[in-house]
C-alpha cells in the first residue's frame, strides 16, 4: 500500500495479507534496512521472496518506523531488536552502508545476533560491507559492487567478482541488479528450482538490456571514465569508513 503526503513524498507500507494460506509461515526473510539504502537492492529480491509459498518477508531497521531509500520512504518497519529470529537475513547496499550502517553499532549488533541463528546470511551490492563490519565475512568469499569490491578485504573477506557467490550459508549478490539473480538462487534453495523458475516466469525476468555496458570491462572507455569520476568523490570517504569499522572488529 502507498500514499502521497502533502509535501509530495511517497510513503510505502508493506501490505499484510490475512488469509489461511499466509497465516502459517514456515520461512521468515528479514531485510535489515538503514537510511540511504538502495531501494532496488531490496525491492527486487522482495518481489521474488514475496511470491515464495509459506514465506513471511519483514522489513526492519534500528529505530523501526520509516526509512528513506533513493528518495522513497518505506514505512511500517519493525525494530530489529524486537525481531526474535529469522531464517534469512538480507542486507542491501547503497550509499548509506558507509555513511550510516557500518557506523551504527546497534545496527551491526542486531545484524550479528540475527545472523548467528539464521539459516542463510545474505546481502546485495555493498550490503556485504555491512556483513563485514559485523564480523561475518572473515575468511569468506563474498560479492560486492565492482567499484567497491576491494573494500571487503579489510574485513578479512575474499572478494569474488561473480554475480552471485555462495560460501557455506553465506550468499551474496554483486551490484544492484544482481539482487534478482541472488533472490532466485536463494528461492531455489528454499523451495526448489521449479518454484524459482515459476517465479522467474511469472515476473517475466528475461533481461535483454539495450547496451552491453553493465561491467567495467564491457563498457566503452569514456563511459567507464565518466562513472569512475562520478564515484571518486565518495571513494575516499568510503575507504575511511571501512578502515574505521574494520579497526573496531
Residues 83, 113 contacting (CB under 8 angstroms): no
What's the rounded Cα separation, in Å, for the pair 249 and 245? 7
Three-class secondary structure of residue 234 per DSSP: helix
Q: Is 125 an active-site residue? A: yes
DSSP string, 90-158: EE--STHHHHTGGG-HHHHHHHHHHHHH-SEEEEETTHHHHHHHTT--TT-EE---GGGGGGGGGGT-E
Residues 21, 51 contacting (CB under 8 angstroms): no
- From the list 81, 165, 159, the residue with the least C-alpha distance to 121 is 165
What's the rounded Cα separation, in Å, for the pair 23 and 129? 34
Residues 135, 125 contacting (CB under 8 angstroms): no
The backbone torsions φ and ψ at residue 31, rounded to the nearest 5 degrees and listed phi first, read: -100, 120
What's the rounded Cα separation, in Å, for the pair 11 and 153? 37
Q: Which of 86, 90, 125, 144 is catalytic?
A: 125
Which residues are catalytic, by number?
125
Amino acid at each position: 500500500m502507498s500514499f502521497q503526503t502533502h509535501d509530495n513524498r511517497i510513503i510505502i507500507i508493506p501490505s499484510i495479507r490475512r488469509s489461511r494460506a499466509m497465516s502459517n509461515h514456515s520461512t521468515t526473510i528479514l531485510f535489515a534496512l538503514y537510511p540511504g539504502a538502495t531501494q532496488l537492492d531490496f525491492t527486487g529480491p522482495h518481489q521474488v521472496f514475496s511470491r515464495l509459498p509459506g514465506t513471511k518477508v519483514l522489513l526492519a531497521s534500528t529505530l523501526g518506523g520509516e526509512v528513506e531509500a533513493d528518495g522513497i520512504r518505506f514505512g511500517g518497519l519493525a525494530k530489529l531488536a524486537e525481531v526474535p529470529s529469522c531464517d534469512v537475513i538480507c542486507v542491501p547496499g547503497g550509499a548509506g552502508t558507509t555513511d550510516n550502517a557500518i557506523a551504527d553499532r546497534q545496527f551491526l549488533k542486531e545484524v550479528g545476533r540475527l545472523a548467528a541463528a539464521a539459516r542463510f546470511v545474505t546481502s546485495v551490492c555493498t550490503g556485504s560491507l555491512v556483513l563485514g563490519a559485523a564480523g561475518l565475512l572473515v575468511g569468506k568469499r563474498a560479492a560486492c559492487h565492482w567499484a567497491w569490491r576491494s573494500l571487503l578485504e579489510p574485513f578479512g573477506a575474499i572478494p569474488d567478482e561473480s554475480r552471485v557467490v555462495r560460501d557455506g550459508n553465506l550468499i551474496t549478490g554483486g551490484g544492484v541488479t544482481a539482487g534478482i539473480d541472488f533472490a532466485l538462487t536463494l528461492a531455489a534453495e528454499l523451495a526448489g528450482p521449479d518454484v524459482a523458475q515459476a517465479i522467474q516466469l511469472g515476473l517475466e525476468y528475461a533481461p535483454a538490456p539495450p547496451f552491453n555496458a553493465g561491467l567495467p570491462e564491457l563498457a566503452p572507455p569514456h563511459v567507464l571514465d565518466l562513472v569512475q569520476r562520478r564515484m571518486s568523490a565518495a571513494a575516499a570517504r568510503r575507504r575511511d569508513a571501512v578502515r574505521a569499522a574494520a579497526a573496531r572488529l
